[in-house]
Structure 1
Amino acid sequence: MTTTAERTAPGRRARLKFVLVLGGLTAFGPLSIDMYLPALPRMAQDLHAADATVQLTLSAFIVGLALGQLVLGPLSDSLGRRRPLLAGLALYVVGSVLCAVSPDAWLLVAARLVQSLGAAAGIVIARATVRDLFSGTAMTKFFSTLMLVSGLAPILAPLLGGQLLNWTSWRGVFVVLTAFGALLLAVVAFFLPEPSPVRSPLRLGQVMRTYARLALDRSFAGYALASGLLFASMFAYISGSSFALQGVYGLSPQAYSVVFGVNGVGIVLAGQLNGRLAGRVPERVLLLSGLLLGVFGGASVLVSVLFRAPLVVLLVSLFLLVSSIGLVMPNASSLALASHARSAGAASALLGVLQFVVGAVATPLVGLGGPGTALPMAATMAGFAVLALAAFLVLAREVTPATPDPPS
């Protein structure tokens, strides 16, 4: 990716404002998913519901995130970013209030779906807004900065949720999420100008053609699949590591929390390293380096499990694979969006949806061997890392950032 065609980047104060606002929008997903996890058992007791029913609140949220991005991405290409974002934030606040006052589990599932549709606006429009404001190396650097939020939010959210439960009920967690959504709604309303002057027709046929064009774009597909497939390795780690490390390797819950936190810090550090190297090293080279690190980490995890290596070897291998996300995601996002300024919302939506869809496929594979083995988790992580590298090598090719979308 060349950098000669970069647009003028915002000044330092404006950049800090965008980091705070877009970082808050990026945190919607991790905060809304992870903050209430420590309260799930208590929720089941209070609502007199089965554990499986309460767990549907998580499934409903993930489904809503995927569907919401598919709708709101193209909508923001047509109406601009502000109006769909403000509507989404308002919907998030309403959904959070409904979660806090839900009298039974099934109404809570429905409220979580409403909440997730609003959260989808923050995630998809934040990524599209980065494309509106930056290009070339500046875009990659900004995505790397946002990895601070993407890496820290999953670490801090469960800890914050657990602390909240010390002095309030699970309903109080959703009250805090309501306040967070209301704060962002006010900030966006008063301090975030419309970043996208480009408008595309809002017609179903045109939207479907845009999605088809993006899916058939080899470079976009390569970058999107590379990030989505490696993100599936991350999903496998999130869904399987607690059972593997505690049930198979005997870590205490406290020790596991430390391991989970250290790996999250690895994502942050890799993202900041990527930001420093962007502009000195081509984004494709950085992306390839991250994918190779992911494959090496995944293979090391698999070998560690197969040959019963000492626990420290497995932990280092997990750290390498998880940290590779910090190199892959900023570069893959920047490269995928580079040639799609007019349809940045739709392109952002496909990037986000692919991560959740492929991750949803990876998650059940982790449990195939039962609770007594870490092999399914290790094989899933290694396999998806290899597929991510293959998608990049086969499909992705270098493009010129200034190449515009075809006329609508």
Structure 2
Amino acid sequence: MNEDPNNIVATQSGQSIGILVFGTLVLCTAFGEVATGLIVPALPTLGEVFARPPETIQLTIVSFALMFAIGQLFFGPFSDRRGRRVALLIGGVLALAGSSLAAAADSIWVIVLARGIQGLGGAAGYVVSRAVVRDVYGAVGAPKAMATLFALMAASFLMAPLIGGVLLDLTGWRVGFVFAAVTGLIWLLSTLFVMPETSKAHSPSEIDRPSVVYIGLFRHRGFLAFMITHSIGYAGLYCFVAGAPYYFIDSIGAAPSIYGVIAAIAMSGFLAGSFAARAAIPRWGSPRVINVSLLLMFFPSVVLAGCGVAGWSMVWVIVILQFVFWFGGGFLAPNTAAGVMMSHPKAAGAAAAVLGFVQMCAAAAVSLTQGLIYDGTLLPVVGMQVALCSVAWLIWTVLKRHAF
């Protein structure tokens, strides 16, 4: 009997998943990054409209990141107990509500609140989609499938600031939130009509309490190796997300649409790195890929920091080296994300939740710090990238023997 390709969901022993189902996973995973990418070009404009300094405007990033982090601690175990689909439906409702509230806001504090609601919804999409990949592909296929998911997510993310910049130039800052609301609506409808349940809903007696699961995760050094390395690498990407708009738009006078192009080119490195990881993982293995990833992130940030100290600020050099940095991030993320969940396959949702919580807390801290230390140059961005890469390398070197 022939199966409808849009309704195929593989078991752990299978290798395929319906196109519409996988597309829904990409949309749910990417919402958080896209929602942020759409408003990043508008950060300086929001400061002018509401007469607020950069450190206040950065709270729109921080509130999102914090709720994105906290939400994953809830939605990960919730999806293990109650099923993936219902968690995604709740997330879609929150994503739509937060985006709509932000679009109608008349105060920066309403936007900060709305971004928090957005982040809570985005948390469900991010953590549950990765758990679905674990459900479907199992231990063998998950790293490669995760690389595809991250690559397609990156394609959406790199387009977001480009679209946001054009919309800002043509219309105004509210339209980016309208675009996010439409995306949330598509997520909700797609989950309702396309997404099947991939994990059996468990009763509380069948699964340990979340507190017990979380304590077990933090006692596992292999889990910590993957989780901390991934989170610090992710925070390095957020140095550029949070700090670059002020440098390019405020300091050197680039139009928001031009900044969108610059950001899209740099961030496309993540897409290229994710696709490269898909090919490299079977040939090199995850340990070697992670080592190369960290080197690719460290080298360009050091060069840019040296240029900053010397007073050199050629845009094309910045873009090329940030592309390499983001390539390293894309090369790293699928391996470490898959490693986190493979360390605890029976609690994949909880493991993904802890990963998401820690990485978004790190992103929130970086965003807040960038607003506080901004000095009109790119040095705060690349200097923090150097420091984070150094710490990630050190932690991975110490803990990697427990990871495999």
**Structure 1 and Structure 2 fold alike (TM over 0.5):** yes
Does 1:189 find its partner at 2:192?
A: yes
The equivalences for 1:16-27 within 5 A come to 16-27=19-30
The equivalences for 1:154-233 within 5 A come to 154-165=157-168, 168-197=171-200, 199=202, 201=204, 206-233=209-236
* CA distance in 2: counterparts of 1:297 and 1:149, whole angstroms: 24
Alpha carbons 2:222, 2:343 under 8 Å: kept: no
Match of 2:5 in 1: none
The equivalences for 1:8-407 within 5 A come to 8-11=13-16, 14-40=17-43, 50=52, 55-165=58-168, 168-197=171-200, 199=202, 201=204, 206-244=209-247, 250=252, 252-253=254-255, 256-308=259-311, 311=314, 314-366=318-370, 371-397=375-401
User: How far off is 1:226 after superposition?
Assistant: 0.6
Match of 1:3 in 2: none
Identify unmatched segments of 5+ residues in structure 1: 1-5, 401-408
Identify unmatched segments of 5+ residues in structure 2: 1-10
Alpha carbons 2:41, 2:260 under 8 Å: kept: no
Alpha carbons 1:137, 1:279 under 8 Å: kept: no
Match of 2:8 in 1: none
Q: 1:315 to 1:115 in 2, by over 3 A?
A: closer
* CA distance in 2: counterparts of 1:294 and 1:343, whole angstroms: 30
* CA distance in 1: counterparts of 2:271 and 2:114, whole angstroms: 32
What is the one-letter code of the residue matched to 1:195? T
What is the one-letter code of the residue matched to 1:331? N
Match of 1:7 in 2: 12
SS in structure 2 at match of 1:7:
coil
* CA distance in 2: counterparts of 1:399 and 1:377, whole angstroms: 30
Q: TM-score, normalised by structure 1?
A: 0.84
SS in structure 1 at match of 2:401:
coil
Q: 185-194 or 371-380, which moves further after superposition?
A: 371-380
SS in structure 2 at match of 1:35:
helix
User: How far off is 1:30 after superposition?
Assistant: 1.7
Alpha carbons 2:265, 2:319 under 8 Å: kept: no
What is the one-letter code of the residue matched to 1:284? P
Q: 1:376 to 1:110 in 2, by over 3 A?
A: closer
Over residues 329-351 of structure 1, what are the superposed CA-to-partner deviations in whole Å (9 max), with x where a residue is unaligned? Answer: 00001111113122111111111
* CA distance in 1: counterparts of 2:61 and 2:248, whole angstroms: 23
* CA distance in 2: counterparts of 1:252 and 1:179, whole angstroms: 28
* CA distance in 1: counterparts of 2:357 and 2:290, whole angstroms: 20
Alpha carbons 1:19, 1:145 under 8 Å: kept: no
* CA distance in 1: counterparts of 2:123 and 2:87, whole angstroms: 10
User: How far off is 1:287 after superposition?
Assistant: 1.3
* CA distance in 2: counterparts of 1:242 and 1:181, whole angstroms: 25
Over residues 31-75 of structure 1, what are the superposed CA-to-partner deviations in whole Å (9 max), with x where a residue is unaligned? Answer: 2212134445666777x6646666533332222111111111111
Q: TM-score, normalised by structure 2?
A: 0.85
Over residues 212-251 of structure 1, what are the superposed CA-to-partner deviations in whole Å (9 max), with x where a residue is unaligned? Answer: 1111210111111111111122122223334456777x58
User: How far off is 1:328 after superposition?
Assistant: 0.4
Alignment: residue pair count: 391
Q: 161-170 or 333-342, which moves further after superposition?
A: 161-170
SS in structure 2 at match of 1:36:
helix
Alpha carbons 2:274, 2:334 under 8 Å: kept: yes
Over residues 87-131 of structure 1, what are the superposed CA-to-partner deviations in whole Å (9 max), with x where a residue is unaligned? Answer: 221222233333333454433433332232122111111111111
Alpha carbons 1:243, 1:371 under 8 Å: kept: no
Q: 1:202 to 1:163 in 2, by over 3 A?
A: farther
User: How far off is 1:82 after superposition?
Assistant: 1.1
Match of 1:403 in 2: none
Alpha carbons 1:38, 1:162 under 8 Å: kept: yes
Alpha carbons 2:72, 2:356 under 8 Å: kept: yes
Over residues 284-312 of structure 1, what are the superposed CA-to-partner deviations in whole Å (9 max), with x where a residue is unaligned? Answer: 21111111222222322333333456735
Q: 1:104 to 1:237 in 2, by over 3 A?
A: closer
What is the one-letter code of the residue matched to 2:330? G
* CA distance in 2: counterparts of 1:367 and 1:54, whole angstroms: 8
Q: CA RMSD in A?
A: 3.1
User: How far off is 1:358 after superposition?
Assistant: 1.7
Q: 1:165 to 1:362 in 2, by over 3 A?
A: closer
Q: 1:308 to 1:44 in 2, by over 3 A?
A: closer
Alpha carbons 2:296, 2:328 under 8 Å: kept: yes
Q: 1:154 to 1:328 in 2, by over 3 A?
A: same
